[in-house]
Structure 1
Amino acid sequence: MSMPLLVSSPRPSLHPPLELHFRHRMTGLDSFSRAIFLKRDGFSISASANHFDEESSLQRVPNRLSSSVLRFAAPAIFFLVGLGAASAPLSRACNAISPTSQTSSLVTQSVAENEVKDSSGLMNKEEEVEDEDWKKEFERWKSKTYALTVPLRIVALRGSFPPSWIKDFIQVQGKRMKLIPEFRSDLDSIFSDLALASRTGRFGAKSAMVADVVSIGDSWLANAIAEKLIEPIQGAEEQEWFQNLSSKWKVFLRRNEKGMIDESGKIWAVPYRWGCMVIAYKKNKFRKYNIAPIKDWDDLWRAELRGKVVMVDSPREVVGAVLKSMGSSYNIRDIDDDIPGGIDAVKQRLDELQKQVRLFDSSSYLKAFATADAWVAVGWSSDILPIARRQTDVAVIAPESGTSLWADLWAIPATTRFPNEEKAGGRVRGPSPMVHQWLEFCLQAARAAPYQQGVIPGAFPLTFDGAVSVSSHKVNPGQPELDSNLVDGGPPPEILKKCEFLGPLAESSLAVHQSLVAGMVKSGRGWFGGILSLFPGRKARTG
C-alpha cells in the first residue's frame, strides 16, 4: 500500500477558496505525482499513515489513464537523463562506429518526451481552467462588504446647530460611520443627567454619561470639571481646530482640576456656538412716547421704563448688569475695592433695578415681552434673536460698555471612571475614535453660514475676535433686515473687546453675590426662589 502524504504550508492555514482549489488539484493524482505537484508549488512533503483525502479514491477513475502515463513517464525521464549523463563518453565512441544506433536511440527518447509533453500539456490546460475559476472565486470574495461601523453618539442642545450638519458629516465620513444624535430641550437637563449618573454610578443606554460627546454651557464648565463629570480632550492642542481658535478661547478653555482658568491646565471643551446678553426694545413704543433708543445698561434705569422691563432670573446676569452699569466687571474680585461705596452702593442700585423690572423669569420673560405692557427685554441672544427676526418693530443691541458672553461647548463625559457601566451606551475603552473628526468638522469655516444668515441664532467660534477670516453670508432673501448692532450674530469688534465670559468666582466674590441675592429674597420679592441651588451657574438656557 502506498504511503499517503502530509502537506505543510509556510502559512498556518489556507483560506477556504484556496483550500478548495488545493484539494481539487490533488484529486486523481497518485503519491508520486502529488509529490511532483506539491514540490513545484513550494509545499513541503512528509509521509503519514493516514489518507490525504478519503474521497480521492472515488475521483481517480476518470483520470486513470493520465495517472498511468505519469507513473511510467516520470521514472523514464529520470532514468534516461541519468543514463545519458553516465554514458556520455561511450555514446561519443559509438557515434563514430554506428550512426544507426544513435538514430534509434534518439527516436526512442523523442517518443518518450512527446508522451510526457502531451500528458503535461493536458494537465496544464486543466490547471489553467481551474486557476481561472479560482481567480473568479477570489475576486468575488474580495468584493464582499463587511458590516464594520464606527459609532458616534452625541447628546446635544436642540436648535444649537443646523440639522444639515448630521447629513453632511455622514457623507464626509462614509457609510462605515454611524452617527447617533439625541437632542435635549435645555442645557440644564444634560448637566443634571451627567451629575445624577456620576453620583449614583449607574446609568442606562440613554444616559448622557455614555455618550461620546455632549453639549454643555460655559457657565457649567467649572462645576462639570470639579465634579469629574467630563474628562480632558486628549491631544486637543495638536489638532487644527484648536490652533485656529483665538487666544481668548484658548485661555477660557484651559482649566485645572478644580475648573478654574489656569494657563498650565488642560483643554476640557470645544466651542461650536457663542453669543451674548442683549437688550431688545419695541421701536413703536419708543417712538410713540418719544423715548430715546437704548444704547447701554444705564438706560434700563430710566424713569419712563419703570415696570416695562422683563429679564432673565440668573443671579450672575442680574448682578452683572448692575456692576456693568456702575463701570465694573461681571467677574469682579472685590466689590468694596473696585466700586465707590462698595457693597452698599451695589445693593442700592440693585434695589432700583427691581422697581424697573416687571418680571424676572428665564422661562417666561419672552411671553411677557409679547404683551403690550412690556417694552424692553433683557436676555440671551439665542432667545431674543429668533423673535426679533419675526417682528419688524423690535431692535436688538449689545450694550456699548460691554456685555456677558455665553458659549455652547462640546465635552466628553467622564465615562471611563465607570468601566463596568461604560458599555451600556456602546462605548468600549473610551470615547469613539470619531470624536476629533466631529470637532474638526464643527469648526470648519464652511459651517459659519447658518449662523451668519440667522438660520441658527448665535455666532460661529472662528468669527470671535477675528481669529480666522470667514466669508460673510447675507441674510436669506425675503427675510426682513434685523435692526441691530450685532455682526454675524455677535457684538461688533469695538464692543466685543469690552465683553467677558462669566468665569468662576473666587470664594470672597461668591459670598458677596450670595449676600446680594439673599437680600433681594428677604425683601419679599421671591423671583429668585428655587435658583440658589444652581448658583453660580446660569438658569437653563434653551436653544
Structure 2
Amino acid sequence: MSLLSPPLPIPILHSSTHHYSTLRLVNLQKSPSLHFHRNLKLYIGASAVPLHRSSANFPASGEVLRRIAASAVLFLSLGSTLFAFRAVASTHVPPSDPCVTQLQEQESQGTRVGKSENVEDIDNEELQAAFEKWKSKTYALTVPLRVVSLSNSFPPVWLKDFLRSQGKRVKLRSEFRQSLQDIFHELCIPLQKGKINPKSALAADVVTLGDTWLSHAIEKRLIEPMDGLEDQDWFENLNEKWKVYLRRSDDGKLDASGRIWAAPYRWGSIVIAYKKSEFQKRKMAPIEDWADLWRPELAGKIAMVDSPREIVGAVLKYMGASYNTIDMSEVAGGKEAVQQNLASLVKQVRLFDSRHYLKAFGVGDVWVAVGWSNDVIPAVKRLSNIAVVVPKSGASLWAECWAIPAASRIATDQIGGRVRGPSPVVHQWIEFCLQAERFKDDVVPGASPNTLGSSVKVSEALTRGRPKLETNLIAGVPPSDILAKCELIEPLPEKTLSEYRWLINSVQKPESSLADRLRNRISSLAHSLLCKVQSKDA
C-alpha cells in the first residue's frame, strides 16, 4: 500500500476492553521528498498525535537516524497488529460502516435476484415442457360426433375422409337404421316417455331425416333449428329452390321468413324401371311418361311404393296437375276425376309396398317398378336388360337431410349421449357432406344438392368398363328440361290431407285370400330358384 494514497482507517483491537479504535494514516502533504515522515500524523480514535515537529526545530542528523529507526519499529508494530486483527476478525464482527453495509446489501440483493431469475427460468422451462407433453396427448382436445343415418345413404369412405380432414381430435361414431321411419320413431319415443336413452337417435348429434318427415318433426318439436347456416358458404351456393324449401315456420309450414331446420346432403327423383326384354318380346313401346302406367297390357305387372303422396301425385301428374295441389276441385274434372283415375291405377298395380316392390321386380313377378331413384338404381345395376326413366312430364324430388335432434328439451343428469347440446363439429360434418367431390366416384345413390338447377356432365372415367344402364338420368340427375318440371314435395294443409285420406280409402284394394298370397309367394320362390340354377349352368 502506498503511503501517498487517501487516508485508510485501520481498526485496532484492545484486548482489555474488546472494543475497536481506529488507526488512520493521513497524508498531510504530498511530496516526493525522502522526509515523508514529517507529513504523517497518527490518529488513535478521534485524537491526532503529530509525528513531526515544526520545521523550525529540525533535529540533528543523529536524532534523525534515531527517529527513522523508531518509525521503522512503529511500522513493524503496525504490521503485526494488522495480522492480529485479521485473526480476531474471523470471530468478532466489527461495527459496520454505513457505506460498506449498503454496498454489501446491494451485492447480496443482486445475488438473490439473480438466483430468483434463474429459478424462475427453470420453472418456466419445466412448465412449458409439461404443457407440450399434455398438448400432444390425443385425448387432450377430443371432440365427439355421433351420427345416426339411413343405411347405405353414404359410403364408409366418407367417415375416413372426414376424420382425415379433421385430425385425430374428432371422435366419430356412425350408426345406421334400416328406414327413415325407424329414425323418426326413435326421435318420438324419448319425448313421449320423458326419458332419454343414450343409445337412441334423439341422443345423437345429427340424424338423417327424409324431406317428407321434416314438417312432422318440426311440428312435434323433435328437432332444433340450425342457427347460423345462412352465413355458411355451402348454403349460399345452394339453388334458390332449396333455400325456399328449407325455411319453415315453427309448425313446419313453408315460410319465407322462417328458420332453417335441416340441411340436404343428397337428393333424387321418382323413376320408372322396366324390363326391356319383356317389352321387346311382346313388341311393346318403351315407357316414357306417367300415362304409360295406364296401358292395358301392363295390368297386374306393376309394383309401386306405398306412399300416398307418390300414388296420388302420379295421378295428378298424369292429369297435368302439380304434386303439391292443395284443392282437388281445381284439377281438370274435379275431385271425382282424380278418384276415377286413381281407381284405374290401383287396378293396374299388383303390389303397393315400399319394402318389397323391388324384390317382386327382381324375380320377374312384375315388369315395371315405380320408386325412388336411391332404391331403384342400386338394385337394377345387378340386373340386365333394364331401363330406368324419369317421366318426361316431371316427377317428384326426394331429399335426405341432416337434422339436429331436440335432446336438450329433456332435463337429465344421465351421463352419456348428446344431452347438453350438439357437437361443435356438426357444421363441419354438414359442409363436408356437401362438397362436390363426395359424389365424383358414383358410389352414392343420389346427387349433390349443389347440382339442383345446374347442368351435370358424366365423366368418361366413371363409365369406362362398366355395364351401361339405359336411362335418361345424368349422374343421378334428370335432364334439365325434365328437371324444370319436377317438384319437391311440400307440406299440405290439413284440409288437403283429409282429401288424400278420402281418396285412398275409396279405392282401397281388398285383402287377398291366403291362397292368393301363398300362390304369389311360391311363384316368387320358384322363379328365384330357376334363376340360380340358370346362373350356375352359365
TM-score (norm 2): 0.72
Post-superposition shift, 1:118?
12
Matched, 1:97 2:30: yes
CA distance in 1, matches of 2:199, 2:209: 17
Is 1:514 the counterpart of 2:501? The answer is: yes
Would the aligned equivalents of 1:225 and 1:259 in 2 still touch at CA under 8 Å?
yes
Match of 1:463 in 2: 451
Q: Secondary structure at the match of 1:466?
A: coil
| Cα 1:129/1:217, change in 2 over 3 Å | same
Q: State the one-letter code of the partner of 2:477.
A: G
Aligned residue identity for 2:324: N
Name the SS for the 1:436 alignment partner.
helix
Q: CA separation of 1:474/1:513 partners in 2, compared to 1, >3 Å: closer, same or farther?
A: farther
Partner of 1:541: none
Q: Deviations over 1:42-69 (max 9, x none)?
A: xxxxxxxxxxxxxxxxxxxxxxxxxxxx
- Pair 1:368-2:357 in alignment: no
Give the CA deviation at 1:140.
2.7
Residues 369 and 376, structure 1, Cα contact 8 Å, conserved in 2: yes
Q: What SS class does the counterpart of residue 507 from structure 2 fall into?
A: helix
Q: Which amino acid aligns with 1:374?
A: V
Query: 2:400 is matched with which residue: 408, 411, 415?
Result: 408
Q: Which amino acid aligns with 1:337?
A: E
CA–CA distance in 2 between the matches of 1:98 and 1:382? 119
The question of 1:439 aligning with 2:430 is answered yes
Aligned residue type for 1:325: Y
Q: Percent identity between the aligned chains?
A: 50
Q: Which residue of 481, 489, 510 corresponds with 1:524? A: 510
Shift in CA distance, 121/326, structure 1 to aligned 2, threshold 3 Å: closer
Equivalents in 1 of 2:241, 2:119: separation in Å? 69
Counterpart CA distance in 1 for 2:110 and 2:409 is: 70
Does the aligned pair in 1 maintain the 2:268–2:476 contact within 8 Å? yes
Which amino acid in 2 is paired with 1:481? K
Distance 2:29 2:292 in 1: 132
TM-aligned CA deviation for residue 152 of structure 1: 1.1
Gaps of at least 5 residues in structure 1 are 1-90, 102-111, 528-543
Separation in 2, partners of 1:188, 1:492? 30
Cross-structure match for 2:472: 485
Q: Give the alignment of 1:202-217 within 5 angstroms.
A: 202-217=195-210
Pairing partner for 1:313 from 292, 297, 306: 306
Residues 321 and 525 of structure 1, relative CA distance in 2, 3 Å threshold: farther
Q: Which amino acid aligns with 1:437?
A: Q
Which of 462, 467, 471 is residue 475 of structure 1 equivalent to?
462
* 1:391 maps onto 2:389 in alignment: no
Partner of 1:382: 374
Change (3 A) 1:442 1:96: farther
Deviation at 1:126, TM superposition (A): 8.6
Matched, 1:142 2:131: yes
User: Aligned with 2:339: secondary structure?
Assistant: helix
Pick the aligned partner of 2:486 from 499, 514, 525.
499
**1:138, CA displacement in angstroms?**
3.9
Unpaired stretches in structure 2, ≥5 consecutive residues: 1-23, 41-100, 514-538
Give distance in 2, aligned partners of 1:356 and 1:372: 16
Distance in 1, Cα, partners of 2:118 & 2:334: 98
Q: How many aligned positions are there?
A: 422
CA distance in 2, matches of 1:376, 1:228: 39
Q: 1:191 to 1:418 in 2, by over 3 A?
A: same
Q: CA deviation at 1:132?
A: 7.9
Structure 1 counterpart of 2:388, one-letter code: V
Instruction: Determine the structure 2 residue equivalent to 1:78.
Output: none
- Post-superposition Cα deviations, 1:127-147, rounded to whole Å, max 9, x if no partner, equal 999788656534431321342
**Which amino acid is the alignment partner of residue 453 of structure 2?**
D
Q: Tell me how far 1:202 sits from its aligned partner.
A: 0.8
2-structure distance, mates of 1:464, 1:220: 21
The one-letter amino acid paired with 2:160 is K
- Structure 1 residue 323 and structure 2 residue 313: aligned? no
| Partners of 1:232 and 1:122 in 2: CA distance | 65
Q: In the TM superposition, what are the counterparts of 1:323-342 in structure 2 within 5 Å?
A: 323-339=316-332, 341-342=333-334
8 A contact 1:279–1:379 mirrored in 2: yes
| Residue equivalent to 1:229 | 222
CA offset digits 1:159-183 (Å, max 9, x no partner):
1112111111111111111112111
Note the C-alpha offset of 1:187.
0.8
1:160-175 mapped onto 2 (5 Å cutoff): 160-175=153-168
Residues 131/416 of structure 1: CA separation in 2 closer, same or farther (3 Å cut):
closer
What is the alpha-carbon root mean square deviation over aligned residues?
3.3
Q: Residue 273 of structure 2 is aligned with which of 280, 298, 301?
A: 280
State the 1:392 CA deviation: 2.9
Answer with 263-272 or 367-376: which moved more. 367-376
Deviations 1:445-476 (CA, angstroms, capped at 9, x unpaired): 222214xx2x2211111111129x89857425
Relative to structure 1, is the Cα distance of residues 470 and 444 closer, same or farther in structure 2, using a 3 angstrom cutoff?
Answer: farther
Match of 1:349 in 2: 341
Distance (Å, rounded) in 1 between the aligned partners of 2:459 and 2:31: 104
Cα distance in 2, alignment partners of residues 127 and 394 from structure 1: 85
CA contact (8 A) 1:203 1:421 kept: no
Higher gyration radius (CA): 2
Question: Taking structure 1 as reference, are residues 97 and 424 closer, same or farther at Cα in structure 2, changes over 3 Å only?
Answer: same
For 1:211 and 1:132, locate their aligned partners in 2 and report how far apart those are by CA, in whole Å.
48
- CA offsets 1:320-368 (integer angstroms, 9 cap, x no match): 11111111111111111222x2111111111111221111111111111
**Equivalents in 1 of 2:422, 2:123: separation in Å?**
43
Residues 133 and 265 of structure 1, relative CA distance in 2, 3 Å threshold: closer
**Alignment match of 2:351 (pick from 343, 351, 359):** 359
Residue 448 of structure 1 contacts residue 470 of structure 1 at CA under 8 Å; is this kept in 2?
no
Does structure 1 conserve the Cα–Cα contact (< 8 Å) formed by 2:288 and 2:392?
yes
Give, as a single letter, the amino acid of the residue that structure 2 aligns with 1:387: A
In structure 2, the residue matched to 1:189 is 182
- Aligned residues of 2:224 and 2:404 also touching (Cα < 8 A): yes
Amino acid across the alignment from 1:332: T
The answer to whether the Cα contact below 8 Å between 1:312 and 1:378 also exists between their aligned partners in 2 is yes
Point out the more displaced range, 166-175 or 185-194.
166-175
Post-superposition CA distance 1:282-310 (Å, at most 9, x none): 11111111111100000011111111111
Query: Amino acid of the residue matched to residue 510 of structure 2?
Result: G
Structure 1 residues 464 and 472, CA gap change in structure 2 (3 angstroms): farther
- Residues 508 and 164 (structure 1), Cα distance of their counterparts in 2 relative to 1, 3 Å cut: same
On the 8 A contact 1:212/1:427 being kept in 2, the answer is no
**Matching residue's letter, 1:357:** V
The 1:169–1:95 alpha-carbon spacing in structure 2 relative to 1, beyond 3 Å, is farther
- Secondary structure of 2:453's aligned partner: helix
Higher-helix-fraction structure: 1
Identify which of structures 1 and 2 has the higher relative contact order when contacts are C-alpha pairs closer than 8 Å and 6+ apart.
1
> Per-residue deviation at 1:120?
11
- The one-letter amino acid of 1:435's match is V
Q: Name the SS of the counterpart of 1:425 in structure 2.
A: coil
* Deviation string, structure 1 residues 249-272 (Cα, Å, up to 9, x no partner): 000000001100010111000000
